Structure 1
């Protein structure tokens, strides 16, 4: 005998775990600030997941095994992302200690004029992200170097991180190599390049507005200190062996990406190559990290391994540079991984209980026409990003939930795929407990709430999607000709 379909919980009941999460996170962040990611936020997510599970079992007839399975599926879905995070930690450590990032900072300070730094950072990250198809890789490599240049030129961490993330997520969104771009088009049954071309109508205006804002901000910047730039350059060249030969690492990384090597392979080989070059170019620093004096190949090897897995601190004789060149390695990613696992528990409980579906169904009720349809899709995407804490899950669920509705209302599937990217892909970096928000905050060393107001591309994208829908520009019914 087949089980009868379970009735979805009411929207009011479904909203309880989400409201508990938001309220507790508000107090947690108020109390702990940026340290909230060290454990407090994880506990809050687990409490919200527990409340959701209790309500589901008590009022919805959900069995604990169903919740366990949903959590397991969620964790399995982010397992590769967790490995990528660990390798990003190793890459950040090896690129710094080997001198790759200091070399990029050294020459970048000489090339990038302060007035054009923010807009240049945005454009550079956009180009690199288009080529790599990965915002994560872009931010973990060139993004870290740009943070150092911005620090030297007197820009606040929020502005610099906002420019980096804006550019990186533009490229991630528009690149045919991006997994989120491929996923959004696949879920909506839209050919990849049709999807990319259609995104131009909302993405290009958003990027242009973003670049104008960063250009104005750059010309309004008055904190640049030439003496500080010169001082930074001098100290970096004294402590590190600055060499263009170190650019072999980003070049090889670019070649691997161009040849579409898997991200895990690319990150591993890039980190390993940088670590090996550290033995030749920065042996004195490896000895310092290992805690010994004098040349010793064994201690150099020890220092190299420590730079890959652990926290390192090189004394630069300048507080800002001390903070800039410090690394946390793979171990520094463990708080983020713990947060991801906790977020997956909450997302699994919300999914298995049917509470997530109940909340998104409420948004569907407001659909009356083209604009409200796109607005509901954007709202659902944002809600899913908040609840599931993972952009991949959010893309899949958004596409599946609205696919039939777009078809019934006579709108092309490419409108759904574009709106999904506008709502989900770019906003994932703005949510502190989302995998993307956690990763970017950890890699750049800037809390999500600090850089959020300056991620203009990410903030404007969902608004632009709704605005273009309201205007109706290039939005065609099924079987209509362009």
Structure 2
């Protein structure tokens, strides 16, 4: 018998490869049915652990040792450790950026973008900017998005189009923000660099947003120019100004982080520098907010340090009296990332085991049969991510599991990991709100009060992005390949991994 780490995928019966994956998918569907949008907050993790053990049983059945199986899920988790550290640091950054007034300033100035003359397009732009600043499409939809729906309803504008514009902007920002969990999970699952992943996504994402905005401008040319600035917008801007000392200088941390990204600094030190700037700006510009966070009265050095420290590990809590502002700004801290880390660990353990046992390779061999070009391989990956959204109802799993499945095949064909990470976001992250039974689709419908299938035709960004991703793949546009020196590095790593296992 060949050693475990050299066992050919063809040795494993297809039935044995299918059972663990099929059972896991069935249990994930049950979890979504029972827990809805809360499935990713614990139930899905339980399912993935069960799936890991089912896969382990079939591995033992096919002659693998427990030591090999154990090293499989350990290796799966190991490759995600850098991303998990980045997620923790991003949680800290979000907390101190809110405390420093950086995020409130982005929202404050962004609210000026809501133009009565181009309501749908300005809704999309505003949600895109805010989602970029906080990295959460759900928070944007549940706060600013909800307010925009109320404005549209008050002026007799189309609610499905408004919801489509909100979701388009929110998912653009969520997809492109380095603060977003999916933006970090996707490159982690395939071994890509965070900022390189974001740059590569821009080739499909930015044109998609531009075309979506054109569509919303056209739909808005129906006489909405007589609208005045809605009261809800004025109230929110006044609430932000009352809670923080706002000014353009508070945007400096954002510009610094953007500059570090352009300079290709690795994500972890770049985000750490951004968080450090947030601490400094909080102490210099928002001492009152720092003291309010911990309920202190006197501006002592100890209390100021305790305040920013609290924001780093436990985030910011807003008590403005405006529900929309409080929901939008109560977030961040390392603790806010723990559930996401739990999900990443569970998903990567499951993926690591089925990869080590040859199950992943067996399934991928069936999926890529006939995919002779790089473009056809990318298209199949995009469709696999969409199918994962359909059957699992969870966007995180639609990104992580296909990422693990296709990782070795992309590498074998000399394709850079960013091709795969972009495909998983194009097919997974973007399509999740378009499926009624997906946790994202259910949340958006419930929050905005518009049925998923009603806003689906107007989620222009999401639809265009998927079409562009497939079109780029078909015509070989922006498909990057591994350079010769990188190939040599990969060949050095592979034997080392085999020896470690």
Q: TM-score, normalised by structure 1?
A: 0.71
Look up the match of 2:125: 120
Look up the match of 1:319: 323
Look up the match of 2:25: 22
Look up the match of 2:429: 429
Q: CA separation of 1:220/1:350 partners in 2, compared to 1, >3 Å: closer, same or farther?
A: farther
Look up the match of 2:148: 153
Q: Distance in 1 between matches of 2:319 and 2:326?
A: 6
Unaligned stretches of 5+ residues in structure 1 = 126-135, 173-177, 187-191, 404-412, 433-440, 476-482
Deviation at 1:49, TM superposition (A): 0.9
Q: Distance in 1 between matches of 2:446 and 2:20?
A: 22
Q: Residue 336 of structure 1 is aligned with which of 340, 343, 356? A: 340
Q: Distance in 2 between matches of 1:455 and 1:227?
A: 26
Deviation at 1:67, TM superposition (A): 1.9
Aligned pairs for 1:288-303 within 5 A: 288-303=292-307
Q: CA-to-partner distance for each residue in 1:335-391, whole Å, 9 max, x for gaps?
A: 110110011111011101211111111123455899966654555676899588267
SS at match of 1:264: helix
Q: CA separation of 1:49/1:285 partners in 2, compared to 1, >3 Å: closer, same or farther?
A: same
Look up the match of 2:408: 397
CA contact (8 A) 2:129 2:173 kept: yes
Q: Residue 363 of structure 2 is aligned with which of 359, 366, 382? A: 359
Look up the match of 2:172: 166
SS at match of 1:260: coil
Deviation at 1:107, TM superposition (A): 1.6
Aligned pairs for 1:219-238 within 5 A: 226-238=230-242
Look up the match of 1:129: none
Look up the match of 2:107: 105
CA contact (8 A) 2:411 2:417 kept: no
CA contact (8 A) 2:96 2:315 kept: no
- Shifted more, 84-93 versus 10-19: the winner is 10-19
Deviation at 1:263, TM superposition (A): 1.4
SS at match of 2:11: coil
Q: CA separation of 1:305/1:236 partners in 2, compared to 1, >3 Å: closer, same or farther?
A: same
Q: Does 1:249 align with 2:249?
A: no
Q: Does 1:76 align with 2:91?
A: no
CA contact (8 A) 1:185 1:417 kept: yes
Q: Residue 15 of structure 2 is aligned with which of 12, 15, 18? A: 12
Look up the match of 1:408: none
Look up the match of 1:282: 286
CA contact (8 A) 2:104 2:240 kept: yes
Q: Distance in 1 between matches of 2:353 and 2:370?
A: 26
Q: Distance in 1 between matches of 2:102 and 2:317?
A: 16
Deviation at 1:55, TM superposition (A): 1.3
CA contact (8 A) 1:377 1:398 kept: no
Q: Distance in 2 between matches of 1:424 and 1:44?
A: 22
RMSD: 4.7
Q: Residue 262 of structure 2 is aligned with which of 250, 258, 268? A: 258
CA contact (8 A) 1:283 1:295 kept: yes
Q: CA-to-partner distance for each residue in 1:20-53, whole Å, 9 max, x for gaps?
A: 2222222222322333233221111101111111
Q: Residue 313 of structure 2 is aligned with which of 293, 309, 313? A: 309
Deviation at 1:268, TM superposition (A): 1.1
Q: CA-to-partner distance for each residue in 1:285-338, whole Å, 9 max, x for gaps?
A: 222221222333311221111111114322111222211110231111011101
Unaligned stretches of 5+ residues in structure 2 = 151-161, 179-183, 389-395, 433-439, 479-501
Q: CA separation of 1:115/1:160 partners in 2, compared to 1, >3 Å: closer, same or farther?
A: closer
CA contact (8 A) 2:200 2:422 kept: no
SS at match of 1:42: helix
CA contact (8 A) 1:115 1:221 kept: no
CA contact (8 A) 2:364 2:406 kept: no
Deviation at 1:427, TM superposition (A): 2.9
- Shifted more, 379-388 versus 231-240: the winner is 379-388
